[in-house]
Amino acid sequence: MPKIYTVQEKENIRKALRREAGKCLALYGVRKTTVDELVRRVDIPKGTFYLFYDSKEALFFDILTSFADEVENEYLAMLQEIDENHIVTSLTDIFYTLLMKFYNDGIYRFLDKSELELVVRRLPSDALPDLSRKFDEVVNSLFSYFYIDDKEDIKAFEAGYEALLYLLLSAEKLHEKEKALRLLVRGLVLQMVE
């Protein structure tokens, strides 16, 4: 007979699965992460995993969706509270923190289209366009905060930040990665506020 979990236990298991899947994503990517590895890390029976997610791909999609929601809620709130007297430093801190969250949570791995394809192949066909639209809305919200009127300038800033995200695919090869990325973020911020 399967174990019955309380509401709190279910929430704890779901959080643990997301946390460990994020760690595995950062370390191994989607392809090399297995359900067996995830349940070992969370210390639950394999059958329990399937009470929460139909597949590891569904779990990774949940991580992507949660990441988009978190960025929208936390980082937009941070932008509203920036120190106007130290705007470049404040914005650099916010965008650098966001970049490093993208890296540390392993989300950057989805920039590799083959990793993303592994996730979406087992999801409903409308899932990826919905998620893509969500990320576009978040990015537009982040950059529209600067009241940049010229749509071409907004696209250029978005492309600049996207280039930084793609740099994360090779971040381990960078000498003094954190310093280099922070400097690049600061340069983008300087261009936005000039």
What secondary structure does DSSP assign to 53-109, as a single string? -SSHHHHHHHHHHHHHHHIIIIIHHHHHT--GGGHHHHHHHHHHHHHHHHHHTTGGG
Query: Between vectors from CA 191 to CA 78 and to CA 168, what angle results, nearest 5°?
Result: 70
pLDDT single digits (tens) 44-71: 999 999 999 999 999 998 998 888 888 8
Contacts 24+ apart (CB under 8 A), 153-158: 157/188, 157/191, 157/192
Give me the pLDDT at residue 2, please: 64
Give me the pLDDT at residue 103, please: 86
Angle of the 151-167 helix axis to the 177-193 helix axis, nearest 10: 180
The pair of structure tokens assigned to 26 is 């950062």
Predicted TM-score of the model (pTM): 0.80
Give me the pLDDT at residue 37, please: 96
Q: Do residues 90 and 12 lie in contact, with contact meaning Cβ atoms separated by under 8 Å?
A: no
pLDDT single digits (tens) 77-133: 887 788 778 888 988 898 899 888 888 888 888 888 888 888 888 777 777 777 777
Q: How far apart are CA 12 and CA 18, in angstroms?
A: 10
Where do the H-state alpha helices sit in the chain? Answer: 7-32, 35-42, 46-52, 56-70, 76-80, 87-104, 113-120, 127-144, 151-167, 177-193
Q: How far apart are CA 65 and CA 172, in angstroms?
A: 26
Q: Mean pLDDT in the chain? A: 85
Q: What's the topology of domain 55-193?
A: Tetracycline Repressor; domain 2 (1.10.357)
